[in-house]
Amino acid sequence: MSKIFVTRKFPGTALDRLKESGNGVTISEFDRPITQEELIDKGKGCDALLTLLTDKIDGELVDAIGPQLKVVSNYAVGFDNINVPELSDRGIIAANTPCEEVNEAVAEHTWALLLALTRRIVEADESTRRGSYRGWEPNIFLGKSLKGKTLGVIGLGRIGTMVAKRAKGFEMRVLYNKRTPDTDAEKDIGIEFSDLDRLLRESDFVSLHVPLTDETRGMVNAESLGKLKQGCYLINTARGPIVDEHALVDALRSGHLSGAALDVFEVEPNINPELIGMENVVLTPHIASGTHEAREKMGQLAVDAVLQVLSGQVPENIINKEVWPQARANTEKELVRYKVA
């Protein structure tokens, strides 16, 4: 029997399956992110941790959990909360939960935000609820049409590709930027590769779909915002620190940017109070992957990775595949086999 600690309860049926797996499963009793101290206290002696993007997992933390720890399975697509090299050094497997359901959910939320901006849905809803509606008027809440406009997709991974595909339904032109051009996607979807400068200059909407890395941290800053076409809109459903929020506020305040929609923030859960005060800004609380379908699948994948590693199998969504030959889970299995033979 292995010991498994889950840092927070999540929706769906996967946790029941984990509990029925014959292992010793503990789930944090708190309906909030767990503190590092609590995580060490509850996780000590565990073979597996099932973590959330609000948990910070590094070498120091896993050392405190103990040498028996074999896997950290992160209930998220992004894993910038995990110091993967430090886990790899210790033979600990890291896994995440990329899947079509999450990609679709994030792509759909990106479009919900983009349309909320262009059709001023949030402002109009607030005004209507306040009782301001006096019947049809020719000049209230005029928005912008999408047809023929240009969407700039920065990062054409699985999510960025789905966002780009959906733009074609609105008859938009799509420019994308990616380290290596994706000629298949260009043919399949009808999109065009562009260097970053041109993408910024020519896009009416820019949507971010890169992971948070040293390279992408702060990539949307005063300089890149300055290159954006006058009146452009920015949508961020990726990670907050990709955008320098102060520079964004300045670009919105000066009118250089027409609006921004953010699902993620530089220092979560804090939100720059200036953004909160702006009418041309739409804010959602990091819910882009928040559909029932996506969260169910994320839970199943996160649980699969835990159970697979604990039974000596390489999980499908392993992040540090190269570690497997030296993985604690794998080498222990070898030892068991040797003993049996």
- Residues within the interface to ligand GLV (CB under 6 A): 53, 76-78, 136, 289
Q: Cβ closer to ligand GLV: 2 or 111?
A: 111
Neighbours of 206 (CB within 10 A): 26
Closest approach of Cβ 284 to ligand GLV, in Å? Answer: 12
For 183, phi and psi rounded to 5 degrees? -70, -30
Give the neighbor-by-neighbor strand order of the sheet with 205-208. 192-193, 173-177, 150-154, 205-208, 232-236, 257-262, 281-283
In the complex with ligand GLV, the residue whose CB is nearer, 54 or 313, is 54
CA distance 31 to 54: 13
User: Catalytic residue at 268?
Assistant: yes
Of the pair 103, 320, the CB lying nearest ligand GLV is at 103
Q: Determine the Cα–Cα distance for residues 146 and 140; give it in Å rounded to an integer.
A: 19
How far is it, in rounded angstroms, from Cα 158 to Cα 289?
Answer: 13
Smallest separation, CB 248 to ligand GLV (Å): 19
Q: Of the two residues 136 and 338, which places its CB atom closer to ligand GLV in the complex?
A: 136
8 Å CB contact between 34 and 78: no
Please provide residue 146's backbone torsions phi and psi, each rounded to the nearest 5 degrees.
-100, -30
Tokens read off for 202: 């020519």
Q: Catalytic pick from 90, 201, 256, 286?
A: 286
Between CA 153 and CA 167 the distance in angstroms is 10
Candidate list 109, 239, 295, 328, residue with the active-site label: 239
Report in angstroms how near the CB of residue 76 gets to ligand GLV at its nearest.
Answer: 3
Q: What is the DSSP string of 202-215?
A: H-SEEEE-PPP-TT
- 7 vs 289, beta carbon nearer ligand GLV: 289
239 part of the active site:
yes
| Pairing outcome for strands 205-208 and 150-154 | parallel
Considering the complex, what minimum distance in angstroms separates the CB of residue 294 from ligand GLV?
8
Strand partners, 192: 175
Question: What is the closest distance, in whole angstroms, from the C-beta atom of residue 80 to ligand GLV in the complex?
Answer: 8
Instruction: For residue 288, give the nearest of 313, 265, 268, 263 by alpha carbon.
Output: 263
Q: What is the spatial distance between Cα 7 and Cα 57, in angstroms, rounded to a whole number? A: 11
* Active-site choice (38, 186, 268, 274): 268
User: Encoding tokens for residue 162?
Assistant: 């789905």
3-class DSSP assignment, residue 198: helix
Question: How many residues are listed for the chain in this entry?
Answer: 341
* Identity of the residue, 66 or 78, whose beta carbon is nearer to ligand GLV in the bound complex: 78
Is 109 labeled as catalytic in the residue annotation? no
Q: With respect to ligand GLV, which residue has the nearer C-beta, 78 or 181? A: 78
CB of 138 to ligand GLV, least distance (A): 9
d(CA 301, CA 55): 18
Q: 């506020």: which residue's tokens?
A: 249
Closest CB 44 distance from ligand GLV, rounded Å: 27
What is the set of active-site residues?
Answer: 239, 268, 286
